[in-house]
Amino acid sequence: MVNKIRKELTPRQERILRAVEAFILERGYPPTVRRLGRLLGIASPSAVFKHLASLEKKGYLRRDRGELQVAGAPSVLAGRIRVPLAGIVPAGSPKEAFETSGEAMDIPDWMLGRKRGNIFCVRVEGKSMIDAYIDDGDNVLLERTNTANSGEMIVGLLEDGSVTLKRLRREDGRTILVPENPAYQAFEVENLRVLGRVIGVLRKY
């Protein structure tokens, strides 16, 4: 049984706890003992296991049906999953590439299905996708992928290093990014790198 009174952590336990939190935040599921050992440079799985057991006893980790969870954080089995929140992505004129912000959002697991470890979220800036019901300030869920079909909405990295959210259209060997707002113009691109495909939109009124 986990002790609910949290005790002070050693520097090694603090490092392990942060590694577990970061892994779950990025992928949506906990690391195995061996995977965690490789990430931390600890060769002995038994040593990693002992540290995890100590973190459970101190109340920082818990197990839900055998799955390791960070105490106080939403459980996958509780119906919500934490996904990383990347920086702002323009739905207007392309801007410089985003980076992961270190923040996260709790998402209902029914929105993610089995893709839960391969999802990230971006906050939209601009109104070029308004007719696709994506408005300025919305949070958009994306599946990490480097491929997409014509007609899908994507976040793409352009040749100049900028990123944008648009609908992808491929025709006659051309790659075109299409806004969903008549006030904006479609434009042809070369060497497009797809970063993710839109799977959902979250909005707070």
Task: Indicate which residues carry an active-site annotation.
Answer: 128, 166
- Taken in order 203, 23, 194, 100, is the CA torsion positive or negative? positive
93 touches 127 (CB < 8 A): no
Cα separation, 167 vs 179, in Å, equals 6
The residues, ordered by sequence, that sit 6+ positions from 26 with a Cβ below 8 Å of its Cβ are: 84
30 touches 56 (CB < 8 A): no
Unique residue bearing structure tokens 């590439």: 97
Here the tokens at position 44 are: 């002995």
Q: In 3-state terms, what secondary structure has residue 198?
A: strand
